[in-house]
């Protein structure tokens, strides 16, 4: 194993595909993804130019699966999703300008794969980034309502145009300096690891990060302007600004009511009710509770240091997915 620095290492030489492939480099983030990774790699094999896996030191068969498929595997200690992507975009030996950034549980439908191939058929695409609509599954059910479909994510972009907001602790978003377009077909997100217990544990960790982000104002909000008439991320910025001004504990109730009733979340059945209640109300109520605790407790310096240590352990040492 050849060391890159003290914190990351390269495990295998990357495989460059033949001349008939699309000039796109795929980057996959992984941690214990042996249930998800095989299908994702099978769907990418043979038509993209190169594939990289950036792994957070998995303890299952993730690395063996990646190596069996002949893809590049790099390891880097996980801190936040944003930092992991910044590492991937700056440290990997990427040869192409175009990047398709995926999680291991995200698979391209055949129609989407063909659409991307056609995008490059006549040379360089006209935009600097492309939004792809996500089709998300929860407990085996496609969540089609409650504002969750179609939900567009910037996934395909020029490497020299993309940037991230380093202050985003809970999640990450890609932004591009330039024009963006939308693709027609779906990206499927169906996490085979995701039992209900797994989901709850993950979102308690996410709630800690989101509360920290909101309390400490780590997210700059300058990554993209806020505009009701802009692209997906600019409209999302408007909603985030409104959300942060709403009263704690009232906003989760308002959000759940809006999503479940006005955006027809009730049409997603029992699994949909579980998802919309947990994701729209329970998760955000947990965030607000942590914010309330942070604002109203004044611990001693020693207790505060201990709390920060526990927060760091809970945030960064657990499963990053």
The residues that bridge with 2 in the sheet, in sequence order, are: 10
Of 156, 189, 222, the residue at which a domain comes to its end is 189
pLDDT tier, 218 (very low <50, low <70, confident <90, very high otherwise) = low
Domain presence at residue 72 = yes
75 upstream amide cis, omega within 30 of 0: no
Domain presence at residue 248 = yes
Lowest mean pLDDT of 8-17, 63-72, 185-194, 208-217, name the range.
8-17
Q: Angle, to 10 degrees, between the axis of helix 196-216 and the axis of helix 301-316?
A: 130
Q: What CATH number corresponds to the domain at position 139?
A: 3.90.550.10
Q: Where are the beta strands (DSSP E) in 20-63?
A: 22-30, 48-55
Mean pLDDT of the chain: 88
Residue 312 is predicted with a pLDDT of 42
My answer on whether 149 and 14 are in the same domain is yes
For residue 17, pLDDT over 50 is answered with no
User: What's the predicted TM-score (pTM) here?
Assistant: 0.86
Of 189, 204, 229, the residue at which a domain comes to its end is 189
Residue 228 is predicted with a pLDDT of 78
My answer on whether 32 and 92 are in the same domain is yes
Rounded to 5°, angle at Cα 100 from 86 and 50? 95
My answer on whether 180 and 200 are in the same domain is no
Taking CB atoms within 8 Å and a gap of at least 24, the contacts of 37-40 are 37/62, 37/65, 37/66, 37/104, 38/65, 39/107, 40/102, 40/104, 40/105, 40/106, 40/107
Domain presence at residue 18 = yes
Total domains in the chain come to 2
Residue 1 is predicted with a pLDDT of 32
Residue 299 is predicted with a pLDDT of 59
My answer on whether 47 and 120 are in the same domain is yes
pLDDT higher for 166 or 75?
75
3-state per-residue secondary structure call for 98-125: EEEEEECCEEECHHHHHHHHHHCCCCCC
My answer on whether 259 and 204 are in the same domain is yes
For residue 304, pLDDT over 80 is answered with no
For residue 305, pLDDT over 70 is answered with no
DSSP 20: T
pLDDT digits (tens, 9 = 90+) for 38-69: 999 999 999 999 999 999 999 999 999 999 99
Q: For residue 74, give the nearest of 63, 65, 83, 82 by alpha carbon.
A: 63
Domain presence at residue 321 = no
My answer on whether 112 and 229 are in the same domain is no
Residue 2 is predicted with a pLDDT of 33
Other C-beta atoms closer than 10 Å to the C-beta of 227 total: 12
My answer on whether 174 and 244 are in the same domain is no
Of 166, 189, 212, the residue at which a domain comes to its end is 189
Domain presence at residue 15 = yes
Residue 297 is predicted with a pLDDT of 83
Q: Are 157 and 130 in contact (CB under 8 A)?
A: yes
pLDDT digits (tens, 9 = 90+) for 227-274: 877 787 888 888 888 999 999 999 999 999 999 999 999 999 999 999
pLDDT digits (tens, 9 = 90+) for 84-137: 999 999 999 999 999 999 999 999 999 999 999 999 998 999 999 999 999 999
Structural domain of 252: 196-316
pLDDT tier, 307 (very low <50, low <70, confident <90, very high otherwise) = low
My answer on whether 182 and 220 are in the same domain is no
Residue 298 is predicted with a pLDDT of 66
Structure tokens at 143: 């969540």
- Lookup result for tokens 């949909």: 272
What phi and psi values does residue 141 have, to the nearest 5 degrees? -110, 135
What is the percent of the chain with per-residue pLDDT over 70, rounded to a whole number? 85
Domain presence at residue 256 = yes
* DSSP notation for 238-274: HHHHHHTTSPTTHHHHHHHHIIIIIT-GGGGHHHHHH
Domain presence at residue 180 = yes
Domain presence at residue 115 = yes
My answer on whether 95 and 174 are in the same domain is yes
My answer on whether 142 and 214 are in the same domain is no
My answer on whether 165 and 219 are in the same domain is no
My answer on whether 244 and 151 are in the same domain is no
For residue 321, pLDDT over 50 is answered with yes
């Amino acid at each position: 194993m050849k060391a890159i620095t003290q914190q990351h290492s390269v495990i295998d030489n990357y495989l460059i595909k033949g001349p008939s492939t699309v000039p796109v480099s795929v980057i996959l983030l992984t941690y214990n993804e042996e249930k998800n990774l095989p299908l994702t790699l099978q769907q990418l094999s043979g038509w993209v130019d190169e594939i990289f896996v950036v792994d957070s030191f998995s303890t299952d068969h993730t690395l063996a699966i990646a190596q069996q498929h002949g893809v590049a595997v790099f390891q880097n200690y996980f801190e936040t999703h944003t930092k992991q992507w910044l590492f991937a975009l700056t440290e990997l030996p990427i040869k192409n300008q175009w990047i398709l950034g995926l999680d291991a549980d995200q698979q391209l439908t055949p129609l989407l794969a063909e659409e991307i191939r056609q995008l490059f058929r006549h040379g360089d695409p006209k935009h600097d980034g492309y939004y792809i609509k996500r089709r998300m599954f929860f407990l085996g059910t496609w969540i089609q309502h409650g504002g969750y479909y179609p939900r567009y994510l910037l996934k395909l972009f020029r490497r020299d145009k993309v940037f991230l907001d380093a202050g985003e602790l809970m999640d990450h978003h890609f932004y591009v300096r330039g024009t963006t377009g939308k693709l027609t077909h779906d990206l499927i997100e169906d996490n085979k690891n995701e039992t209900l217990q797994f989901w709850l544990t993950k979102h308690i960790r996410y709630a800690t990060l989101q509360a920290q982000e909101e309390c400490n104002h780590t997210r700059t909000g300058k990554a993209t302007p806020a505009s009701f008439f802009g692209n997906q991320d600019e409209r999302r910025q408007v909603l985030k600004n409104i959300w942060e001004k709403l009263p704690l504990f009232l906003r989760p109730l308002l959000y759940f009511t809006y999503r479940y009733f006005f955006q027809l979340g009730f049409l997603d059945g029992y699994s949909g009710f579980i998802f919309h209640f947990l994701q729209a109300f329970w998760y955000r109520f947990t965030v607000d509770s942590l914010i309330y605790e942070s604002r109203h407790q004044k611990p001693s310096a020693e207790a505060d240091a201990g709390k920060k240590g526990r927060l760091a352990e809970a945030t960064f040492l657990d499963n990053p997915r």
